[in-house]
Amino acid sequence: MKRKTVGILGGIGPLSTVYFMEMIIQMTKAETDQEHIDMIVLNHAGIPDRTRFILGLSDENPLDVMVADARKLERAGADFIVIPCNTAHYFFDKIRQSVRVPILNIVEETVDYAVKTVPGLTSLGVLATDGTIESKTYQRVCEARGIRCEVPDAEGRAVNMRIIYDQVKAGKPADIGAFLGLVESLKQRPCEAVVLGCTELSVVKRDHRLKRPDIIDSLEVLAESTIFACGKQLKTETETA
């Protein structure tokens, strides 16, 4: 099998991009440098805010910048591209149409992972930015698979946005009590599992070492899919410990 190189369209946000790279390295079954995955990374922090544009709060359209970045990755030799940002998938179709190489879709990969791993899944809770929720990115993918998608109420969404923007993106500690409260409120709907549909929330999960089968980390799912797309294997739990 030809050795594949992944192109990472990142910087949205910068910390979650670096964590995504680290995650790929830690999850790949490899005993030498040469057995790890080749990556071309654009950690482009200057991409305009996706949620603000989607909600009509800014006229700075991030699409042209992301299209240009995708083309840069393609020209640099990426065999396929990943975008470690859920909100950016509002623009997914147009970015995909701008390049010849495939792009993995974090939302589709995550919902498909939930279908495969959660027994009797009928309802999936999603914690995400207002941009992702208002654009119904997860809702449409869940509906296509016959799954109900639940999101926080207005108060819960405000709490979640504070965690994402005022805490994680600002480089401050996340309010873990508020975070877990959001998870539990979705579980009580009821939902069989809750997706962390914003990669900043993946950082919260990492920082607090949360290991719960009912919390599905979209960034971790994308890392796993990236490893498989490169023809590599995952470390076993014993190897990871």
For the chain, which residues make up each domain, given as ranges? Answer: 5-105+222-240, 106-218
Please give the chain's pLDDT, 241 residues, in tens: 689 999 999 999 999 999 999 999 999 999 999 999 999 999 999 999 999 999 999 999 999 999 999 999 999 999 999 999 999 999 999 999 999 999 999 999 999 999 999 999 999 999 999 999 999 999 999 999 999 999 999 999 999 999 999 999 999 999 999 999 999 999 999 999 999 999 999 999 999 999 999 999 999 999 999 999 999 999 987 565 5
Identify the architecture of domain 106-218 in CATH: 3-Layer(aba) Sandwich (3.40)
In angstroms, the CA 20 to CA 17 distance is 5
Domains 5-105+222-240 and 106-218 are alike in CATH topology: yes
The single residue of 149, 191, 198, 230 carrying the catalytic annotation is 198
Is the bond leading into 46 cis (omega within 30 degrees of zero)? Answer: no
Structure tokens belonging to residue 78: 């990426």
* DSSP codes of every residue in 100-162: SS-B--HHHHHHHHHHHHSTT--EEEEE--HHHHHTTHHHHHHHHTT-EEE---HHHHHHHHI
pLDDT of residue 240: 57
pLDDT of residue 206: 95
pLDDT of residue 236: 84
Indicate the helix (H) or strand (E) that contains 8: strand 5-10
The single residue of 85, 142, 149, 230 carrying the catalytic annotation is 85
- Local structure of 233: helix, strand or coil: coil
Work out the angle at residue 115's Cα, subtended by the Cα atoms of residues 112 and 121, and round it to the nearest 5 degrees.
150
pLDDT of residue 42: 97
Phi/psi region, residue 211 (left: phi>0; alpha: psi -120 to 50; beta: rest), is beta
Whether 85 is a known active-site residue: answer yes
Topology of the domain covering 5-105+222-240? Rossmann fold (3.40.50)
Work out the angle at residue 206's Cα, subtended by the Cα atoms of residues 28 and 7, and round it to the nearest 5 degrees.
45
Q: What one-letter code names the amino acid at 133?
A: I
